[in-house]
Amino acid sequence: MQKIRGAGLGVANFCEGPPIWLTCFDRAWLVFNEFKGKVVFDVYSFGIMIKGCCEVGDLIKGFQLLAMLGDMGLSPNVVIYTTLIDGCCKNGDVFLAKKLFCKMEGLGLVPNQHTYSVLINGFFKQGLQKEGFQLYENMKRVGIVPNIYAYNCVISEYCNDGNVDSAFKVFDEMREKGVAYGVVTYNILIGGLCRVKKLKEAAKLVDQLNSVGLSPNIITYNTLINGFCDVGKMDNAVRFFNQLKSNGLSPSLVTYNTMIAGYSKIGNLAAALKLVKQMEDRGVAPSKVTYTTLLDAYVRLNYMEKAFEMHSLMEKSGLVSDVCTYSVLIHGLCMKGNMKEASKLFKSLGELQLEPNSVIYNTMIHGYCKEGSSYRALRLLKEMVENGMVPNVASFCSTIGLLCKDGKFKEAELLLQQMINSKHEPSVSLYNMIYKVKSEASNAELESNIITNS
């Protein structure tokens, strides 16, 4: 048999033969199976195929190849195990990844920087923070210096948790170890500072980039601009918006949407619309997010006619409204007390094959309660639960309050119990409200009996 090394039959070669409707991986898999009885593949060849399996998310084939490798008397190397561990993590099966990690250690294979990095990231992605940090410490304990990927994972996790002090400690450690870092690390730290509203420090970090020979990229500016927009500091947001342009960068759709959302949040619709004109002039087409943000701004200002005009403009541009878009419009109609139109829009979701989310249900329930329609509010609340959603505290309280007002204390008691079962904690005043209505009903019944019997 001829021995073939993976470099001689790469995936690129596999893409030339079999039918064109197959993906490159499918073709590679067909050719691999066609040749496996005729030639002897080496570990490198298996490594290429296993990587392909993991990239397309077909772990079953990946493990089949691992077993085949053993049957042929070949020993999988660290690269193959690391590839499978990464594949498992990306597939959300971090525990299988951990088993593979332990197995390779049992075989005498030493995990490298990349092996540790992908598993640490896998733990963090699944919310297993403790396991991720433990593996990071184990990595250092066995003498392996974390690479940039591992450091960025740990720094990002601390930032996401709001623990920027620990993130900067890791950053300092990283610099002491001489690990080369780039703008990605700075962007993570800037994002962390913005998350905890330390915007001055975030802005200083952007300035610091130039002093270490790095240039802020569009993500740097988008992160910082979003931080300032989030707290309504539009002057600062504009300063960095202009700075990114003077540095030779072009604002992206994300940049414009962030700025438009910032202006909309503080009620400056004129500035928001001016930006929409500017983005269109620059060849950046407004997205569904752009239109929905403007819709929300009109709704907040109680300009419902303008909101529906904007919605019509959005659909004329070829964009399809989603649940979020309709949620904004329904919210506006409910707040204005126009439950007839809100109900029409709510019912139209089914015709459009859109499922109302919990926000829409809670908004409609609140609207019906404001209108004084306990029947409709209760019906929607039940429908919401039947669809696997949990009403929020406001929906329960408003509906219970309205039922009590209507003297329907039995329905109110049942709903109170449902509220408790949904892990919501009723207030003392809610208990008192039901007790008062129940007592009044009991007293009224007693008085009626006395009059009847007298």
Cα 280 vs. chain centroid, distance in angstroms? Answer: 28
- The per-residue pLDDT for 405 is 87
Query: Which tens digit of pLDDT belongs to each residue from 159-208?
Result: 999 999 999 999 999 999 999 889 999 999 999 999 999 999 999 999 88
- The per-residue pLDDT for 47 is 83
Q: Are 399 and 424 in contact (CB under 8 A)?
A: no
- The per-residue pLDDT for 105 is 84
- The per-residue pLDDT for 155 is 97
Other CB atoms within 10 A of residue 182 CB: 13
Cα separation, 437 vs 432, whole angstroms: 9
pTM beyond 0.75, yes or no: yes
Which regions of the chain are under pLDDT 70? Answer: 1-22, 34-40, 440-454
- The per-residue pLDDT for 50 is 82
- The per-residue pLDDT for 41 is 72
Q: What tokens appear for 61 in the block?
A: 């084939």
Cα separation, 20 vs 419, whole angstroms: 57
CA dihedral 316, 322, 325, 329 (to 10 degrees): 90
Match 């525990």 to its residue by tokens. 95
Q: What tokens appear for 87 in the block?
A: 């594949």
Question: Quick one: which of 27, 33, 83, 56 has its CA closest to 41?
Answer: 33
Query: Which tens digit of pLDDT belongs to each residue from 314-343?
Result: 999 999 999 999 999 999 999 999 999 999
Q: Where are the alpha helices (DSSP H) in 20-147?
A: 24-35, 43-55, 59-71, 78-90, 94-106, 113-125, 129-141
DSSP string covering 159-191: HHTT-HHHHHHHHHHHHHTT----HHHHHHHHH
Provide, rounded to the nearest whole percent, the portion of the chain with pLDDT above 70: 90
- The per-residue pLDDT for 150 is 95
